[in-house]
Amino acid sequence: MAEPLEIACDESGSEGEKLVGGNSDVFAHASVLMDAATASDCVGELRERAPTPANEYRAGHVLREKYRPALLWLLSPDGPVLGNVHVFLTDKIYYVAGKVAELLVEDHTPRIGLDPRAGATAAALYREGRRTFGPERWTAFLDAFNYLLRAKNGQGVTTSVEETFRLVDGLRGAGGPAGEIMESLWRARPRVESFRERLLGDPYVFPALDPLIPAIVRAVTYWGAGGPVLVVHDRQTTLTDERVAQMREISGGRMAGLRLVDSMLDDRVQVADVMAGVARKIALDELTGRADPVLSALIRPYVDPASIWAPPDEVMSR
């Protein structure tokens, strides 16, 4: 049996299964295929070009405007990471809209990522929801379904199908594509109740809503075309033995294992942290109408086209 390919990973913008109303609307996950010496040289060069006294090199150091030349060097075709880094992005709001849309698929079984059959509905809801319902009602709707579809709500927050569908009822008459989706969702209430009951009975019966899970599975799929992949990841409390076992099953056994490390002790993980943080910042700027065309063009070759992201025509600044 072939020796597993070892990739090093880190993320930026992770807030677990909380996708609405958090610190960032974008989650980014970077996986790095690089040996220790090459990673050490990359971090060393970054320290020369964008100095910091910090023991651990992070994305924030190279994102300072005065160090823009260092960032351009890092991302350039002649830089040290092109071809060795893969970035998976998630627009958290689109992800929630997609998970709501999945509930309308008749034979839907929750899966890693989004069901492609729900794509058109997800895009329509994402495009029309805010302007049809208004910012406050749109956010309340997303927040309610975010909690409803989570395995663990935390912070003492509770919700119910009854409370959530009161919101749906109030949105059904809004008209337009978004209003029609609310009508369909209203009729799908028994399916939502069944989903919630099973989730509360066994939080591991479905893949987690946490975008970290599909990102890791996709990294394994991307790098593991020729054989098994061992994931070395910065420490994450959500990566429990149960979730790792679930990811191994979902990947068809392609994931050989997952080892958690202290990023301070692994330069490969620091490279992953930098690339995830840089990609998240560039993507967030695009979503909020502050895009930097130069950086957007430079980051594109690193970004997985299968990222959880609305089609270009559906993306709206917010």
Could you tell me the two tokens for 290? 């502050």
Write down the pLDDT at residue 315: 47
The pLDDT value given to residue 155: 53
If you average pLDDT over residues 190-219, what whole number do you get? 90
Which residues, 6 or more positions from 109, have their beta carbon under 8 angstroms from its beta carbon? none
- Return all residues near 245 (Cβ < 8 A) that are at least 6 apart: none
* Mean pLDDT confidence for 106-127: 88
Contact between residue 280 and residue 26 where contact means Cβ atoms under 8 Å apart:
yes
Query: What's the pLDDT at 173?
Result: 87
Query: What was the pLDDT predicted at 316?
Result: 43
Q: Residue 313's pLDDT is what? A: 56
pLDDT tens, 245-271? 999 998 988 999 999 999 989 999 999
Instruction: Provide the 10 A C-beta neighbour count for residue 294.
Output: 13
Query: What angle do the packed helices 189-201 and 176-187 form, to 10 degrees?
Result: 60
What amino acid is encoded at 82 in this protein?
L
- Residue 140 in tokens: 């309340």
Domain ranges, ordered by start, for the chain? 5-89+208-314, 92-201
Is the pLDDT at 317 greater than 70? The verdict is no
pLDDT of residue 157: 54
Q: Is the pLDDT of residue 160 over 50?
A: yes
164-203 residues labelled b (16+ CB within 10 A) or e (exposed): bbebbeebeebeebbeebbeebeebbeebeebbeebeeee
One-letter identity of residue 207:
P
Q: What is the mean pLDDT of the chain?
A: 92
Q: Phi and psi dihedrals of 134, rounded to 5?
A: 90, 150
**Mean per-residue pLDDT for 159-181?**
93
Please state the pTM of the whole predicted model.
0.93
The class (CATH top level) of 5-89+208-314 is alpha beta
Compute φ and ψ for 17, nearest 5 degrees: -85, 0
Report the pLDDT averaged over residues 36-63. 96
Phi and psi based region of residue 108 (left: phi greater than 0; alpha: psi -120 to 50; beta: remaining)? beta
Give the pLDDT confidence score for residue 153 in this predicted structure: 62
Q: Please determine, for residue 152, whether its predicted confidence score (pLDDT) is greater than 80.
A: no
What SS3 string covers 271-318? HHHHHHHHHHHHHHHHHCCCCCHHHHHHHHHHECCCCECCCHHHCCCC
Which residues is 286 bridged to in the sheet?
Answer: none
